[in-house]
Amino acid sequence: MKHADIKETAEALFNEQRNPFGAFTLGSETHHAVTIPDAVRRCRWIAVDMNASAFGLFFVSPSPERARLVPCFDSDYPGIAVATKFISGANGEEIVRHTRISTEPRWWTDDGVPGTAELFGDFAWTERMAALVPGTSGIAFPVHADRGQCGLVVFLGSEMTLQQDALYEIHARCFSLFAAVARIRPGDAGRMRAISKRELECLKLTANGNTSEEIARLLKLSVHTANQYLTQSTQKLNAVNRNQAVAKALRLGLIE
């Protein structure tokens, strides 16, 4: 299939008014009601359709100085998968630069997984890239939304199944999903009270596995004050406990 035909097929799917996976379409007026748990569930449906074992949705950071992917959610939601930490680290810089200027999918494969290279290698309108996560195989779909926002929907798995025509539909569904998530993130941020530098420091140390006593010693605080900072950040993130607060802060890119 020629590139022009591929583009035409993809655009037809992106503009299609029927709902391909039980959610909204780009032209729908109802997609503002989607929540993050809804988005996770719908992304899981996409993963099932291509037999992927894991997935993640990422936003490209707006800063031009540092190219990085900010995780929104993944298949371990409300937690954070180890693979997500790799993707949002230094390994993601190349795909971020690509995502800012193109929507062409990128795939990678672990040499120890037979058949994956043959599966993706025959696709038109895709190219191979360096692995986002060592020892895995996967495919990354660049996606764009209103207000210049762009991101990446990533699927991983050693036994994925996908046909050329299905590739376009999967990409269209990723576009639609990202459009909805991009709309709800500003509202979420607007309802969140500002988190102080000290509160973020305590959250980051908690994410690294430190106890309240260790945090107090490292930041030269009393244990009571350290716990108070953690309680305040948990409340501001509308989390039920400090572990969920850490997970939310990581997803929102507040801590690394």
pLDDT in tens, 10-52: 445 444 433 333 333 333 333 444 688 889 999 999 999 999 9
Query: Which pLDDT score is estimated for 212?
Result: 93
Question: What is the torsion angle, in degrees rounded to the nearest 10, for the CA atoms of residue 15, residue 99, residue 44 and residue 56?
Answer: -160
- Looking at the chain, the whole-number percentage of residues with pLDDT higher than 90 is 27
Q: What is the structure's pLDDT at 171? A: 92
Q: By the 8 A CB rule, do 140 and 107 touch? A: yes
Please give the distance of CA 242 from its chain centroid, rounded to a whole number: 22
* pLDDT-derived band at 240, boundaries 50, 70, 90: confident
More confidently predicted of 55 and 247? 55
**pLDDT mean over 226-244:** 85
8-state DSSP, 209: T
Least trusted range by pLDDT, from 50-54, 86-90, 147-151 = 86-90
Q: Which of 174, 156, 246, 158 is nearest to 208 (CA)?
A: 246
d(Cα 141, Cα 159) in Å, to the nearest integer? 18
Q: Give the model's pLDDT for residue 194.
A: 65
Nearest to 235 by CA among 191, 201, 172, 197: 191
Q: Which residue has the higher pLDDT, 4 or 135?
A: 135
Q: How far apart are CA 18 and CA 34, in angstroms?
A: 17
**Of the spans 25-29, 83-87, 181-185, which averages the highest pLDDT?**
83-87
Model-level pTM? 0.64
Pairwise pLDDT comparison (128 vs 214), residue with the higher score: 214
- Per DSSP, 171 falls in state H
The sheet carrying 150-156 orders its strands as 69-74, 54-60, 150-156, 138-144, 106-108, 127-128
The phi-psi region of residue 154 (left if phi > 0; otherwise alpha if psi is between -120 and 50; otherwise beta) is: beta
From first CA to last CA, the distance across the chain in angstroms is: 42
The mean of the pLDDT values for the chain is: 78
Examine residue 78 and say whether the peptide bond preceding it is cis (omega within 30 degrees of 0). Answer: yes
